A and B are shown apart, each in its own frame.
Chain A
């Protein structure tokens, strides 16, 4: 079974530029998450989708960050304009519905963003 795919793996941009990240979850996984992991910290949830609907975006800085999952499969996360403090690894994770008590999220390799 293929894992969660993310691209690009690395991105370097200057502040005030725009950037977009792409995620392809595991086939059949209805729930998709985007996390931000700043160096030395644990991952922090930015947004959660179930199919193509947003479940939780309470920690997403909506003035500059946006995300969509139009067809309920792939997702894109965009930052516009980027700030220095956005330098981080952006992780995508997915989980199937109906796992009962389990909350096993499967993570992709992440996109490492450096804002100069």
Chain B
């Protein structure tokens, strides 16, 4: 049973436009959410996070929104750049210390 779901395996966005990556979760015990970015043959790198007590966190071109009632979070990238092309993982922490990851969304930025 997947507790963290990323329903879009891939997303194609034009350079300069906004990229929106979505993530849904089912476990109400999750209290911290993170986005990781992964290039081929590399480990995931931390991008941005949000605590369950907040509904928005912003870091440069990246903004994460959390809707607790809908158990939904999203990552906005504005403007999208070619170097943003990667696989993005949504992850959640709750109770135990380890993270629960979604399956990832492959973002492709087209010139």
Choice from B6, B43, B93 contacting A103 with Cβ under 8 Å: B93
A48 pairs with B44, CB closer than 8 A: no
Contacts of B46 in A (CB 8 A): 104-106
Count the A residues whose beta carbon is within 8 Å of the partner chain — how many? Answer: 25
B96 and A56: CB pair below 8 A? yes
Q: Are B43 and A109 in contact (CB under 8 A)?
A: yes
User: Does chain B have a CB within 8 A of A113?
Assistant: no
A40 to B46, CA, bound (A): 19
Contact call A42/B98, Cβ cutoff below 8 A? no
A34 CB to nearest chain B CB (Å): 10
Give the complex CA separation of A113 and B33 in angstroms: 29
* A interface residues with partner B (beta carbon < 8 Å): 4, 31, 33, 40-45, 48, 55-56, 58, 91, 93, 101-110
A-B CB proximity, top 5 nearest: A42-B101, A107-B43, A45-B98, A103-B93, A107-B44
Known: A42-B101, A107-B36. 20 other contacts (CB 8 A): A4-B43, A42-B4, A42-B89, A42-B104, A43-B89, A43-B99, A43-B101, A44-B101, A55-B97, A56-B98, A58-B96, A101-B32, A103-B32, A103-B49, A103-B93, A103-B99, A105-B46, A109-B43, A110-B42, A110-B43
